[in-house]
Structure formats: structure tokens, C-alpha cells
A and B are shown apart, each in its own frame.
Chain A
């Protein structure tokens, strides 16, 4: 049958046009908006952003969250993935339960952990019942920044490990069973098998999981707001405040550009650090 050469272009044209209008154009506009000083080019918005009282804290908090959350999530997802690999009965049910948080909004996840961690919440009730504390205790205000930080870490791990799990399980399924059996014949220990077979073959999946999760982690916003309000400044939260409350679109755009630059840099670092050979690519 005749294959009209323009057919594939016709099929992709709508999505190209759409992504140009709602991805590339706003991307360019964000950059323009951030360097617009009223009369021509200016870095005033960036200066104002960097000079803001909350800026250093927001930058530090965001990076600290990513640095703590991502390794824990990958480790936890690997453990869960290996458990699923061994599972013979009930695998589908367990997998469904473990992936439920995939459908939970970050705002809802923050509220879930608020119910547990608030002053008179369930964690404190438990601690009270086993005699650790004598009454309601606060964790989520500006006087307890470390506790608030770990509250956000908990909520993020609870919510977003599922996505790492899915990507890794999909990768584990692609590893040929014969490799493990061959290693067994040669007497390899489970740990050696994991390090020499599973981990190297999982590299492509690990790479895409890390990129996806890190980009989303730099974007963290609603979880933090639900748990601690303004008590825990983060980059996207600052962008939101500058836009919606201060009505200063220029400084908000500067924050947006910063977050995007960081995400892009992280992506490039992962692509370089976890270089994937074409032949091992799934």
C-alpha cells in the first residue's frame, strides 16, 4: 500500500504545535520575563531574588531535601523491587498496595502526614501511650526546623517512592532469568548476584528513575505547604509567593528559571554519570 510521506508529519503536527505553544513559548517567556527590567535587559529580578531574606534558606532547604529524599527512595524502591521479584503468591495485590501513592496528590500527601504529625496527632498519641512524651508536642513550626524537615522527608518518601518502584520493577523484569541461574551454578552469593548482575543491568532504569524523581523533587511545593506553611521556605514556594501575593512576576520568573536550570543540570549530570551503552538499553 502506498505510504504517503506526509502522513507521519500530519499525525505529529498537532502535538508539536501544542507543545510549542504551551512548552517552548512559555519557556522562552519565563526567561525573557526574568531579565526584563522595564527598559530592556536587566538582572534586577535576579538581584532581588538573591537579596531576599528567604532565598538562601529556600535554596538550602530544597537541596537538602533532594539530597536526603532521593537516595532513600532509590534504596527503598530497590528493596521493594527485589522483594517483589521473589514473591510467588499475592504479588499483584502487594504491587497494587505499594503503588497506591502514585495516585496521591502532593497536597493530599502533605495533609495525610499533617494528620499524623500535628500536635495532638497520631504519632504523639502513640508516643504518649508508650510513655515517651507527657502531652501534645509541636513539630511543624518555625522553632522546630529539623523536625519539620524530617516531616517533609517522610511525606515525600511515602508519596513518591512508588514511581521509582514502578520504573525499577519494569527494569528488573527485563533482566534475563538465565543470568541469575548461571551465577547460582558458579556459586555466587545473593549479594554478589545483586552487585554484579542486577545493579549493572538496571542502570538504564535507574537513570530514568533518577532523572524523573530529581526533577520532580526540585519542584516540591504542596507537601511542604500542607505540613509547615511558610515555616519551611523552598524555591517553588517562593516563586508562588512572589507571583500570587507580591504580584511580582519578574522575581517569580527568576525563581522559575533557577529551578529549571537546576533541573536541567541534574538531568545532564545523570546522563553523563550513568552513561548507558546502546546494547544494554532496553
Chain B
């Protein structure tokens, strides 16, 4: 590359990094600046008055802790369900040729062509009837419907990447199918499965619509923030938004190696 083009290239890369990072920095300022900073004009771009006290005040508001706890429960259950249901399906897709396989693939892919969260609307009626309405467990069920297709496809591509011969060798040495899976395949697939689980967690943690429709008192954090949006002061909104972002950013960092397996063409 010539010198001016190289300069243009580096500037472009840095500008795009700033495009992602600066807004997060600014909501951080808004979240930690408290009441005074929100009304300050003109705003300061340096973190002079920022402190964790403002965030702590937000967390002490009635209902916030409970909402965060509900989010945590719903997301953990989603993680558990989507792996327990999805990983066996992924293994079946990777290791067996069976009648109905393409129909099953179609069912999984079909879920991507529908805005699934909207299906929370009719579920309200059934959930009220069977007592699942307004519980983190009920929310986790619809979130599992969102996360399960990913879990199945990701684990399928993981298992496909582990040579079948390893398992066959274990059978030769007298392992049962289950033992071979547990002792040979599982240890190799575990990091990838963990990444898929974390991703399921993030899907649930971030989901707004279904969680808001299916809860009233036992709100998740997103549902809580959405419903108090219009009546809460700006600095509380920023604190809420900032608290939503932090875990997701860390999670994405943890699974960054597996992002392509999750979204790449291979897992289509």
C-alpha cells in the first residue's frame, strides 16, 4: 500500500473502533454522573465527576435488584435448557444420516424466518392458565425457543469438527457409545458448548419484548427498564442501560473465538 492509502486505511479502522467504543463511554459517563451531570450544559467529555455512587443509587431503587435477579434466573435457565435440548440434536445432526433429518433442519431454520419473540403474545393466555405467567421460568421457556436453534446448529458444527474415528477407536477398545461420547467427544467439544451456552445466556439477558409481555411484577431487568422508561429520570435510564451492557460485553469477549462457528456459513 502507498503511504496515503495506508494512512487512510488506518484512520478508517480507528474511526470505526471509535464509532463502537465512544457511545459506550458516553453512556458510562451518563450513568456515573448522576443527577447533576444529566442536566449539566454544556456537557463535559472528561470523566471528571463520574463516580460509582450514582450507579449504586440506581441499584438501591425498589425493584431493580429483584429485576436483575429475575434476569439472571431466566438467563441461566435458558442456558441450561437450550444446551440440554440442543446439544443432543446437534450430535444427531452431525453423526447420523436418518430419515427426516432435512425436515428437522428445516424446522430449526424456519425459526429464524419468524420474529419469535412476538409469539409471546398468545403464550400469555396459556401461561396465565397453567401458572407460568409472571415467572422467570415462563420467560426462560420462550427464550429457550429463541436460543435452541442456535445451540443445535452450533453444537452440530462442533461435533462435525471432531473426527468420527476418535469415537470408533474408543468403541474398539471396548467403550460403549455413551462412554466414548463422554470420555472422548465431550472433553473436545466442551469449550465450544460453553460458548454456545454463554450465547444463550446473552440472548435471554438482552431480550425485551417477550419478557415485557410475559411479566407484571416479576419483571426481568429489560422488562423493568422498558416499563419505567417514561417515568424515570434520564440518569436512571442511563444507569440501567449501562448495567445491561456490561455483562454482555464481557460475555462476547469470552466467546469471541466461537463467534464464527455460531454465525458463519458452516452453521447455516
Is the beta-carbon distance between A103 and B115 smaller than 8 angstroms?
Answer: no
Is the beta-carbon distance between B42 and A128 smaller than 8 angstroms?
Answer: yes
Is the beta-carbon distance between A18 and B145 smaller than 8 angstroms?
Answer: yes
Is the beta-carbon distance between A103 and B145 smaller than 8 angstroms?
Answer: no
Is the beta-carbon distance between A170 and B222 smaller than 8 angstroms?
Answer: no
Is the beta-carbon distance between B122 and A30 smaller than 8 angstroms?
Answer: yes
List chain A residues, Cβ under 8 A from B112.
Answer: 211-212, 215
List chain B residues, Cβ under 8 A from A264.
Answer: 113-114
Is the beta-carbon distance between A158 and B19 smaller than 8 angstroms?
Answer: yes
B209 CB within 8 Å of chain A: yes
Which residues from 85 to 100 on chain A have a C-beta closer than 8 Å to any C-beta of chain B? 86-87, 92, 94-100
Is the beta-carbon distance between A115 and B26 smaller than 8 angstroms?
Answer: yes
List chain A residues, Cβ under 8 A from B259.
Answer: 99, 102, 166
Q: Which of A95, A120, A135, A205 contacts B40 (CB 8 A)?
A: A120
B171 CB within 8 Å of chain A: yes
Is the beta-carbon distance between A166 and B263 smaller than 8 angstroms?
Answer: yes
List chain B residues, Cβ under 8 A from A15.
Answer: 85-86, 88-89, 108, 148, 152
Binary contact readout B132-161 vs A (1 if CB under 8 angstroms, 0 otherwise):
000000000110110011001000000000
A103 to chain B: closest residue by CB: B248
A112 CB within 8 Å of chain B: yes
* Distance, CA A125 to CA B33, complexed state (A): 16
B24 CB within 8 Å of chain A: yes
Is the beta-carbon distance between B265 and A116 smaller than 8 angstroms?
Answer: no
Which residues from 209 to 267 on chain A have a C-beta closer than 8 Å to any C-beta of chain B? 211-212, 215-216, 218-219, 221-222, 225-226, 229, 236, 239-240, 243-244, 249, 252-253, 256, 259-260, 263-264, 267
Main secondary structure of the interface of A (DSSP, over half): helix
B230 CB within 8 Å of chain A: yes
Q: Which of B17, B149, B205 contacts A105 (CB 8 A)?
A: B205
List chain B residues, Cβ under 8 A from A92.
Answer: 256
Which residues from 130 to 175 on chain A have a C-beta closer than 8 Å to any C-beta of chain B? 135-136, 158, 163, 166-167, 169-171, 173-174
Is the beta-carbon distance between A111 and B20 smaller than 8 angstroms?
Answer: no
* Distance, CA A30 to CA B266, complexed state (A): 33
Is the beta-carbon distance between B252 and A100 smaller than 8 angstroms?
Answer: yes
Is the beta-carbon distance between A96 and B256 smaller than 8 angstroms?
Answer: yes
* Distance, CA A26 to CA B28, complexed state (A): 39
Is the beta-carbon distance between B115 and A170 smaller than 8 angstroms?
Answer: no
Which residues from 50 to 88 on chain B have a C-beta closer than 8 Å to any C-beta of chain A? 81, 84-86, 88
Which of A5-13, A44-52, A64-72 forms contacts with chain B?
Answer: A5-13
Is the beta-carbon distance between B119 and A23 smaller than 8 angstroms?
Answer: yes
CB within 8 Å for A163 and B118 given contacts A115-B238, A211-B113, A236-B209: no
List chain B residues, Cβ under 8 A from A260.
Answer: 114-115, 118
Range for the number of chain B residues in contact with chain A? 35 or more
Q: Which of B27, B118, B230 contacts A115 (CB 8 A)?
A: B27
Is the beta-carbon distance between A112 and B113 smaller than 8 angstroms?
Answer: no
CB within 8 Å for A122 and B13 given contacts A26-B122, A260-B118: no
Is the beta-carbon distance between A27 and B9 smaller than 8 angstroms?
Answer: no
Which residues from 212 to 268 on chain B have a C-beta closer than 8 Å to any C-beta of chain A? 212-213, 222, 225-226, 229-230, 234, 237-238, 240-242, 244-245, 248-249, 251-253, 256, 259-260, 262-266, 268
Is the beta-carbon distance between A252 and B111 smaller than 8 angstroms?
Answer: no
List chain A residues, Cβ under 8 A from B152.
Answer: 15
Which residues from 1 to 55 on chain B have a C-beta closer than 8 Å to any C-beta of chain A? 9, 12-13, 16-17, 19-21, 23-24, 26-27, 29-30, 38-43, 45
A114 CB within 8 Å of chain B: yes
List chain B residues, Cβ under 8 A from A244.
Answer: 212-213
Is the beta-carbon distance between A163 and B263 smaller than 8 angstroms?
Answer: yes
List chain A residues, Cβ under 8 A from B244.
Answer: 104-105, 107-108, 111
CB within 8 Å for A104 and B245 given contacts A11-B88, A12-B89: yes
Beyond A18-B85, A83-B13, A239-B118, 19 extra complex contacts between A and B, CB < 8 Å: A7-B96, A11-B92, A15-B152, A19-B111, A29-B125, A30-B119, A110-B241, A114-B237, A115-B27, A121-B43, A122-B26, A128-B42, A170-B260, A173-B260, A219-B115, A219-B117, A226-B241, A239-B121, A243-B121
Q: Tell me the B residues contacting A by CB distance below 8 Å.
A: 9, 12-13, 16-17, 19-21, 23-24, 26-27, 29-30, 38-43, 45, 81, 84-86, 88-89, 91-93, 95-96, 98, 100-101, 104, 107-108, 111-126, 141-142, 144-145, 148-149, 152, 168, 171, 177, 202, 205-209, 212-213, 222, 225-226, 229-230, 234, 237-238, 240-242, 244-245, 248-249, 251-253, 256, 259-260, 262-266, 268
